[in-house]
Structure 1
Amino acid sequence: EKPVYRAYSVASPAWDEELEFFSIKVPDGPLTSELQKIQVGDTVIMRQKSTGTLVVDALTPAKRLFMISTGTGIAPFASLLRDPDTYEKFDQLILTHTCRDNAELIYGQELVAALES
């Protein structure tokens, strides 16, 4: 069977030993329906390092970092908010997160609660 490739943003900080992702279940989706079946020991093909502009190393220090997300788009911001290096680069971090359904807000609420503790 041919592998299915998708770009997912890592929600865990770069230093964490465990990888965390935030996605929605797409009924009969070619990947999300399979991701639900993953077991310990299964093989998942991934790149060795996160790349792109939403990683701490790519951010230019400034007074404020505005993060505006919808739905699962909060994942890369969750990674940034959990990384102490982000707080070295910015005086203020401002996150705005919206979703279609209240049930989708739970991840953002859990993230805020974890950061406040």
Structure 2
Amino acid sequence: MAAGPQIAKRAPVMVMWNRRELSEILNVYGRYVAMGEWKDYAIDGLATNAVFSIFRRASEVPMFAIVKTPADAQRQGMYKVVAVDGQVLKRGHELPQVLRVFEKKRFSVVD
């Protein structure tokens, strides 16, 4: 029996943060760590999006998630900030504009 053409399987391409994006996110994160409001973070690279999760304590669920979804780039924008309850707080095409949701005058953490 003749072998058919072999189809090369590609490993799934993961979406991840680039250096510029991480720098912008970590600048905001660092300010809130200095204020004692945020304690930990996690970075996930998935098949469809990249997620930067922000925790008040490491043992809790994330307070916020900053999500990068390249498939949404032509629609609502590639970036969004999601609260713990799943509510989208800000969405847009540019990461610095989306991160403005964390400006102290517009946002405060309530216990």
Q: TM-score by structure 1 length?
A: 0.23
Higher helix share: 1
- Which gives a bigger RCO, structure 1 or 2 (Cα 8 Å, sep 6+)? 1
The structure number with the bigger radius of gyration is 2
